[in-house]
């Protein structure tokens, strides 16, 4: 399933920037960074729970993480305007 | 349908901050800001096209907007960690 991870952190502090880097490092294990604090991750239910646990430990209480489970047919429901760094999250994964 | 709008803009410039404010102003007509540059909007297909057009005009070519159509049963697939500003996007809308 494709899970969207959005992360709200105060990046005006060095600590916040460091946490964002750590969050990014975890998320890109499973997918890609599509915007500064938005990641698309391909996860099974076990990986989902694992990632959620790790992110909970990295973040601080004033940060906010939102996880959106887009299911298995997500790519048909994603549109981008302007600069887009991503590839097609579902099909391109399957073609590896 | 619930549509997630994520917006990547350089907010270190005043112009970028102004564009983010304008984007936010448009999106909150249809829903709520759940993170600094993440909005949850309840849109029908016509409103979706309308909002997409308006956002396209506001943004600059170096910005990035991603639109995720979460469908009608979205709330069951959203989890939040840490600070959360939102309400339940589907049920709370219905109870107004």
Q: Taking 50 as the threshold, does the pLDDT of residue B77 lie above it?
A: yes
In chain A, where the domains are located: 2-94
Q: How far is CA B17 from CA A34, A72, B20, in A?
A: 20, 35, 5
What would the mean pLDDT of A52-79 be, rounded to a whole number? Answer: 89
Residues 35-74 of A with CB under 8 A from B: 35-38, 52, 55-56, 59-71, 74
d(CA A78, CA B76): 19
Q: How far is B5 from chain A (nearest CA, A)?
A: 10
What would the mean pLDDT of A2-7 be, rounded to a whole number? Answer: 94
Q: Are A2 and A73 in contact (CB under 8 A)?
A: no
pLDDT number for residue A76: 63
Are residues A66 and B79, on separate chains, in Cβ contact within 8 Å? yes
Asked if ipTM goes beyond 0.90, one says no
Q: How far is A80 from chain B (nearest CA, A)?
A: 4
- Looking at the domain A2-94, which fold is it? Alpha-Beta Plaits (3.30.70)
Partner A contacted by B24 (CB < 8 A): no
**pLDDT, tens digit, 9 for 90 and up, residues B42-75:** 999 999 999 999 999 999 989 999 999 988 876 6
Q: Are B65 and B59 in contact (CB under 8 A)?
A: yes
């Amino acid at each position: 399933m494709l899970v969207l991870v959005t992360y709200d952190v105060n990046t005006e502090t060095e600590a916040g920037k460091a946490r964002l880097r750590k969050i990014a490092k975890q998320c890109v294990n499973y997918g890609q960074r599509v915007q500064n604090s938005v990641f698309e991750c391909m996860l099974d239910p076990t990986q989902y729970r694992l990632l959620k646990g790790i992110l909970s430990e990295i973040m601080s209480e004033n940060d906010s993480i939102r996880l959106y489970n887009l299911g298995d047919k997500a790519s048909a429901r994603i549109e981008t305007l302007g600069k887009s760094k991503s590839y097609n999250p579902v099909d391109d994964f399957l073609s590896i």
